[in-house]
Structures are given as structure tokens and as C-alpha cells.
């Protein structure tokens, strides 16, 4: 018998907060160097972090990435995330709304975000597979439920297999295209920790998707999370296979460079973003926003809103410092300027083999 979706959601949070579920590969941001500028001709306190994404201006290029909702208790988490998003004018994505499609009595766990702020830029979330049977009606319900400003459709083929032992991804491209064609709000397609390749990015752009969230390897591994859940249930096969695949995916820096070089639509860097320096590198490469998931929920469990706010302010300080030291006065300026950065080691090799960099 399958595990109840609500029970699963609580287990996911508990495992992410209490266990080591990191990928066995890193993001590869460590292979990117920004060139230090000893004469920045700028004042660090004046570094302007504001930016545009999908027609809205945000004060910081930081996204609270998709996490939770759908079971009693998660409204408290979403409330704190919403307070942060509202206070600092940043976008927020809620967790998969599948639970509320099956049981409308849990809609309040997502709606709390709208209650905190009618103005916050709220991104809805649903799995691509959950849309296949009735794409347009399902997507419309998800958006209406929370008056979402955009819809994130997540791709998680690896997680699904390690969770259930099987998955069928046939028809997913067509499903996303139908949703894009009929929905009034922009559609973002996101991975969940295994990254997006340039080929997939080109397909998504060609069917009209408005933005891509690469969510690459190097941070939370959903194969690791599901391996732990299977171990607790004595499912030896899925636990062992999940452990093997906890490092599977395209490291976030590699995925981000592949995608920004192959499409024109905005790209979100996520998957293992752990500092303002990672955010600065992402923006200089060409990302519009950087998203974090696990660090935000862990901060909340460690020390409530105060700790969440501390983490956010630390990220902003680290980001400003990196921009200042690279001689950049504003995030918006990055769109016009090509800031030099150095790519070394395995990341360089990857990009040469993928035809993104030349070997000269
Ligand atoms: C507790 C938790 C729950 C998540 N639930 C969802 C979800 O419902 N939908 C989704 O698209 N991604 C979900 N994610 C994936 C994140 O949005 C993100 O893609 C991934 O965790 C990598 O980012 P990180 O390394 O910063 O955690 C979840 C992540 C966490 C930590």
C-alpha cells in the first residue's frame, strides 16, 4: 500500500532537516573564479541588488525555492517564508500543491502566503506528471488556489523512481506545452536537484516556457532523501539504488552555463546555492535569480524567523561583497556588461566536451 502523501511530506522535511542528504558531487562553483579588483571605484554600501524577473522588480535576486505545504503544520513554515519574502521584496515559490488537489481542506497551508501578503510574488508548484491526465484544468486550479503570479512545473524523474520503483515520463513535453498555451500566468520549469541540460532547455524554450530553474546537482539530493525513506521501510533495493544515485545529475554551475548559453529566457540558478558568493557567480554567469531551499528550512528549524532573517542578510552581505570586489555597482548592470570570470578544472573540461567552450 502506498504511503499517504501527507505523511511523506512530513518525512521529507524531517529527513532534510535532520540527516545528511547532500549530493556526492559538488555544485562546481568552486571551479569558477571571479577576478579580484583592487580598485573597485564603488562604495560597498551603495551596491544595488535590485533586479527584474517576469515583469516585476525585486529588491534582491534571491528566490525562496519550492518546498512545502499540504499537511497541518506546514502553514507555519510557509507563513515565515512569506514574512521574509514580503519584508525584503523577494519572490517565493510554495511546495507541490498536489496534496490540495486531492484534499481541498489543506489549501490553507499554501494560502497562508497570500494572507501574509496579497502583493508578494508567489509561484505555484506542481509536478509535470501530476498534470498529464488533465493538464489545463489542473494547472488552472493550482494557479487559482493561491492566486499565483507564475506556475513552476517540477521535473523529478530520478526522485519518482527511487520513491516508487517506477515512473512513466511519456507525454510530459506535450503536457507542458498545453499548459503554457492556455495559462494566463508565466510557466517556469524547474528540476529538483539533477539539473537541466542545454538540449532540455532548448525544448522548453521552443514550447514557450517563460523561465527555467536549473536546480542542479551539488545541494539536496532527492535520491538520498528517498533512499533514507526506503531504508526506514526495509526496502533494500530502492534504498541501495537511491544511495548509488545520490550523486547523479549535472552540477549546478555546469547546468547553469549550458542553459544560459543556449536560451534567451531568464534562468534561475538553484541546487546547492549556499552563499552570497555562489549567488554572485550565478548572476555573473547570466542567471536572473538564485534560489535556495534546504538552507532556508534548516535555518527556520534551528532558530525560527530570527535565524531565517540572519541567513538572508548574510547572503545579501556576501553577495554585495563579491560584486563590490569584482567592481560591479549594481545587479542590473550585469545584463549589459560581460564581467570576466575564470573556469578551471573539471568544469572547463565538461564545457569543452559539451561544445560550450572552445579548447584554445
Ligand atoms: C523540504 C523540501 C521540500 C521540497 N519540495 C519541493 C516541491 O514540492 N516541489 C519542487 O519543485 N521542489 C521541491 N524541493 C526541491 C527544491 O525546490 C530544490 O529544487 C532542491 O532542494 C535543490 O535546492 P537546495 O540544494 O537549495 O535544497 C524541495 C526541497 C526541500 C528542501
Residue 166's alpha-carbon distances to 82, 157, 158, 222, in angstroms, are 35, 9, 9, 15
Question: 29: closest CA among 356, 343, 316?
Answer: 343
The x, y and z cell numbers of residue 50, run together, are 535590485
161 CA to centre of ligand 1 in angstroms: 17
Question: 24: closest CA among 230, 220, 241?
Answer: 220
Task: Report the greatest alpha carbon distance in the chain.
Answer: 64
Q: pLDDT > 90: what percent of the chain?
A: 94
pLDDT for the residue 1? 37
Q: pLDDT > 70: what percent of the chain?
A: 99
The x, y and z cell numbers of residue 26, run together, are 559538488
pLDDT tens, 99-115? 999 999 999 999 999 99
Domains of the chain plus CATH, in order, are: 5-353 (3.20.20.70)
CA 222 to mean position of chain CA atoms = 13
- Direct distance between the N- and C-terminal alpha carbons of the chain, in angstroms, rounded to an integer: 57
pLDDT for the residue 3? 64
221 CA to centre of ligand 1 in angstroms: 9
Of 294, 295, 300, 301, best ligand 1 pocket probe by most atoms within 8 Å of the beta carbon:
294
| Rounded-to-integer distance, Cα 330 and Cα 313, Å | 17
The angle that helices 236-244 and 157-164 make with each other, rounded to 10 degrees, is 150
Q: Work out which ligand 1 atom sits closest to the CA atom of 95.
A: 8
| H or E element at residue 252 | helix 252-262
pLDDT tens, 265-275? 999 999 999 99
Of 293, 294, 299, 311, best ligand 1 pocket probe by most atoms within 8 Å of the beta carbon:
293
Segment 230-244 shows an average pLDDT of 96
Global model pTM greater than 0.85: yes
Segment 180-198 shows an average pLDDT of 98
Using a 6 Å cutoff on CB, does residue 66 contact ligand 1? yes
| H or E element at residue 151 | strand 150-154
Amino acid at each position: 500500500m502506498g504511503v499517504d502523501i501527507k505523511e511523506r511530506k512530513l518525512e521529507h522535511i524531517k529527513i532534510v532537516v535532520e540527516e545528511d542528504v547532500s549530493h556526492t558531487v559538488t555544485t562546481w562553483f568552486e571551479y569558477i573564479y571571479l577576478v579580484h579588483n583592487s580598485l573597485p571605484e564603488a562604495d560597498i554600501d551603495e551596491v544595488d541588488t535590485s533586479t527584474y524577473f517576469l515583469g516585476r522588480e525585486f529588491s534582491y535576486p534571491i528566490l525562496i525555492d519550492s518546498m512545502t505545504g499540504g499537511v497541518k503544520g506546514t502553514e507555519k513554515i510557509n507563513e515565515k517564508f512569506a514574512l521574509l519574502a514580503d519584508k525584503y521584496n523577494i519572490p517565493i515559490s510554495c511546495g507541490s500543491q498536489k496534496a490540495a488537489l486531492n484534499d481541498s481542506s489543506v489549501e490553507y497551508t499554501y494560502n497562508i502566503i497570500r494572507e501574509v501578503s496579497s502583493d508578494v510574488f508567489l509561484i505555484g508548484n506542481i509536478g509535470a506528471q501530476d498534470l498529464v491526465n488533465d493538464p489545463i484544468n489542473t494547472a488552472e486550479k493550482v494557479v487559482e488556489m493561491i492566486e499565483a503570479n507564475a506556475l513552476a512545473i517540477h521535473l523529478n524523474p530520478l526522485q519518482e523512481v527511487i520513491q516508487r520503483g517506477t515512473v512513466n515520463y511519456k507525454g510530459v513535453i506535450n503536457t507542458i506545452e498545453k499548459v503554457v498555451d492556455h495559462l494566463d500566468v508565466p510557466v517556469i520549469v524547474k528540476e529538483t536537484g539533477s539539473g537541466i541540460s542545454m538540449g532540455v532547455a532548448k525544448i522548453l524554450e521552443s514550447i514557450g516556457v517563460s523561465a527555467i530553474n536549473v536546480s542542479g546537482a551539488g545541494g539536496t539530493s532527492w535520491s538520498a532523501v528517498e533512499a533514507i525513506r526506503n531504508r526506514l521501510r526495509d526496502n533494500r533495493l530502492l534504498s541501495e539504488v537511491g544511495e548509488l544515485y545520490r550523486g547523479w545529475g549535472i552540477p549546478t554551475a555546469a547546468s547553469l552555463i549550458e542553459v544560459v548559453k543556449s536560451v534567451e529566457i531568464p534562468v534561475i540558478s538553484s541546487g546547492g546555492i549556499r552563499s552570497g558568493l555562489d549567488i554572485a557567480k550565478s548572476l555573473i554567469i547570466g542567471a536572473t535569480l538564485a534560489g535556495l531551499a534546504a538552507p532556508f528550512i534548516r535555518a527556520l528549524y534551528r532558530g525560527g524567523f530570527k535565524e531565517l532573517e540572519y541567513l538572508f542578510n548574510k547572503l545579501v552581505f556576501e553577495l554585495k561583497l563579491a560584486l563590490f570586489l569584482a567592481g560591479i555597482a549594481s545587479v542590473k548592470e550585469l545584463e549589459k556588461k560581460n564581467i570576466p570570470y575564470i573556469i578551471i578544472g573539471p568544469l572547463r573540461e565538461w564545457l569543452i566536451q559539451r561544445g560550450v567552450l572552445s579548447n584554445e
